[in-house]
Structure 1
Amino acid sequence: MDLLTQGLLGASLAQTRAHAHEARLATGVGFLAGLIADADILIQSTNDPLLNIEFHRHFTHSLFFVPLGACIAAILLWPFVRKHMAFSRLYLFALLGYSLSGVLDALTSYGTHLLWPLSETRLAFNIISVIDPVFTLVLLIATAYAFKHRAARFAGFGLAIASLYLLLGWTQLQRAETEALALAQARGHDVERLLVKPTLANLLLWRSVYESNDRFYVDAIRVGLLSEPKIYPGESIEKFNLAQYSRQLPETSVLADDIARFTTFSDGFVALQQENHDLLVDIRYSSLPTSTAPLWAIAMDPALPQQHARFQVFRDIPKAVREQFLAMLWGHKLN
């Protein structure tokens, strides 16, 4: 999730084990330790554009890295707090702050190497958006009260409410998946793979992507808390055929390897953009839950197989797209 939420979760966890006299210092230690895992964003290479997306949420987010990550955080903070607490207490707060960084990210849709090195699989449970203001606000209020009153009970209460919110996300996911499968069945499609994930900053509007007969079908599903689900039919696109495309590439070429790496990163949900067949897009993400227009993709040049693909991010969101997203979010009928 975003850095603020990661830090607040770490701060809340550290507060639960702090004595009154060390509560505020523990808050800061937990907050900073909660950010350390995302230092992997600094792993970049000007020569290899895909290195960053491969290693973001990688080993630093693994459950097995937690003790070492906490140790790194404690060593970095020790010069600033050594006059105020023993190293054992500092490490405890750093361990608590760092402990759930990977787990929280795995609850989103991006994918996290939570079990590395035992498994290279990117786990994504899809029950909360990468940015969720409700979840963040709950942690912020609880952390602030615990900091002000030096009382661990406020942190514990906030964590309990946050956990219930995640349970709501899981429930909403099950409802959205049920609707997605029913929609595919109504179309006469055999679903080979299904991905349902929350759209940005809410648990009401979900993006459904399913594969059937070498095509991806993208739809939006609104599951209101007190209303019947609403379907917004979307676009479809042909699934990328790696074997067919790579016929024009040497098997050991840099570009062929980049295509394989991006396909793995995207969990196989890749397609060639309809307007540009040299742009390989990640179908899992779009600014609009009914669209196949990507948030990111790689640009390929088959004529230069020994050059790396270019990683591209599409951040421009036109006003019409924003308005359409909000209409679906509130359950309105589209024009």
Structure 2
Amino acid sequence: MDSVTQAALGAAVAGAVAGRKCTPKVLLAGAALGTLPDLDVLISYGDPVSDMVKHRGFSHSLFVLIPFSFLLSWLWQAWRPTRFSFTHLWLLVAACLVTHPLLDSFTAYGTQLFWPINAPIAIPSLFIIDPLYTVPLLLVLLASLLWRDRIAKLCTAGLAVSSLYIVWSVSAMSVIDSRVEQQLAGTPLAGQPVFITPTPFNTVLWRVVVKGENHYFEGLSSILDGDTEIDFLQKTLGAWPEQLGSEHQQMLERFAGGFIKYEQRQSQIVASVLRMGMGEQLAFQFALAENSNGWTSIEPVRVESPRGRLAQIPNLWLRLLGNQDIDANLCHVSECPQQSVPLASR
């Protein structure tokens, strides 16, 4: 999640754990602890693919954060004794640190909760920025500064609301998953890999990607849709040259769970991660090979994806409300170059 959300979560957790001993300084410390794991973005792993794949690695691991919380609590007590017992202080520090990667695990990026074990956790039920999750936390923190005798209760209430929102997001994703399963049943795509994630800033409108043999199918489904049939757009997956080995290509495949598309752009092969983004606006794209008398692997180069247009915002809102004349590229179906076709014909 974004830094503002993580800081708000850390502060609210600190307020709830500190109880009657909480002060504005404790909230500030909690906010700092809540953003600490993301400092790994300052580490360069040598190339853009490694930087992406290894983000949310060791600094988000429970096997690292829990021992680190003991060390940090001991140093804190030794440097500046507090009103907290060591156990109470450790619980506060550990809770602020650990809730950061736990929240991150509900996004499409995924989190290495058990690093060095390579088993990333991703339950993609939240967009990386979601005001409906963040705003309640910010409101209770603001209220805590006004009613300092109620900080713990306010923070606990804020955490309860935000946690219920996560429960809602997982439930909504389950509804969309059931729709997709029912629609794919009896078609050539039954049993194929499916990826479901919310569209920007909400948990009502969901993006669905189904991976076939040579194509992938992208569609949108809103909880408010009257007709639960999803209009999918068929797009080409492309392929990586079989004879061409590339460690970075394999890293991307593992990271994305196979949800990668390959395109030849001029003299290069560009790999795009389908898990993050929408339509042609995919957040992570890398040039991995070039053609110079035959394909050869190159050092990865980050390719900028097209930026979203402000004109798409009204379409996003209309589609969220259940207008099914808007497709996965967030344009009116009648205006789009690619038209959806029934799954049975694919």
Runs of 4+ more than 4 Å apart: 71-79, 83-87, 229-232, 274-277
DSSP-derived class of the 1:196 partner = strand
Structure 2 SS opposite 1:309: strand
- TM-score, normalised with respect to structure 2: 0.82
Out of 267, 282, 294, the position equivalent to 1:294 is 282
Indicate if the aligned counterparts of 1:205 and 1:223 stay in contact, CA closer than 8 A: yes
Contact 1:9 1:31 in 2 (8 A): yes
1:140 maps to 2:138? yes
1:107 counterpart residue number:
106
Select 2:123's aligned residue among 102, 122, 125.
Answer: 125
Structure 2 distance, partners of 1:231, 1:23, is 52
Shift of 1:66: 1.9
Asked if the contact 1:298/1:311 (under 8 Å) is kept, the reply is yes
- Is the CA contact (8 Å cut-off) linking 1:204 and 1:223 kept in structure 2? yes
SS of residue in 2 equivalent to 1:20: helix
Shift of the 108–72 alpha-carbon distance from structure 1 to 2, 3 Å rule, reads farther
Rate the CA distance shift 1:3–1:302 in 2: closer, same or farther, 3 A.
same
Measure the CA separation in 2 of the matches of 1:49 and 1:295. Answer: 13
Please give the TM-score of this superposition, normalised by the length of structure 1.
0.84
Measured in 2, the distance between the counterparts of 1:192 and 1:158 equals 39
Per mean C-alpha deviation after superposition, the further-off stretch among 125-134 and 207-216 is 207-216
Is 52-61 or 233-242 further displaced after alignment? 233-242
Paired residues for 1:245-264 under 5 Å: 245-247=241-243, 249=244, 251=245, 256-264=246-254
Q: CA deviation at 1:284?
A: 1.8
> In structure 1, what is the equivalent of residue 50 of structure 2?
51
Change (3 A) 1:87 1:174: same
* Cα separation, 2, equivalents of 1:274 and 1:187: 30
Residue type of the partner of 2:287? A
The 1:74/1:316 distance shift into structure 2, 3 A limit, reads farther
Listed as ranges, the gaps of 5+ residues in structure 1 are none
Instruction: State the shift of 1:221 in Å.
Output: 0.8
Distance 1:78 1:315 in 2: 50
State the identity as a percent: 21
In the alignment, does 2:32 pair up with 1:35? no
> Does the 8 Å CA contact 1:26/1:93 hold for their aligned counterparts?
no
Deviation of the 1:73 alpha carbon: 5.5
Counterpart of 1:311 in structure 2 is: 302
In the superposition, relative to structure 1, how do residues 246 and 308 fare at CA in structure 2: closer, same or farther (>3 Å)? farther
Q: Give, as a single letter, the amino acid of the residue that structure 1 aligns with 2:273.
A: D
Q: Is the 8 A contact 1:29 1:97 kept in 2?
A: no
Q: State the aligned residue count.
A: 319
Say whether the 8 Å CA contact 1:236–1:292 is kept in structure 2: no
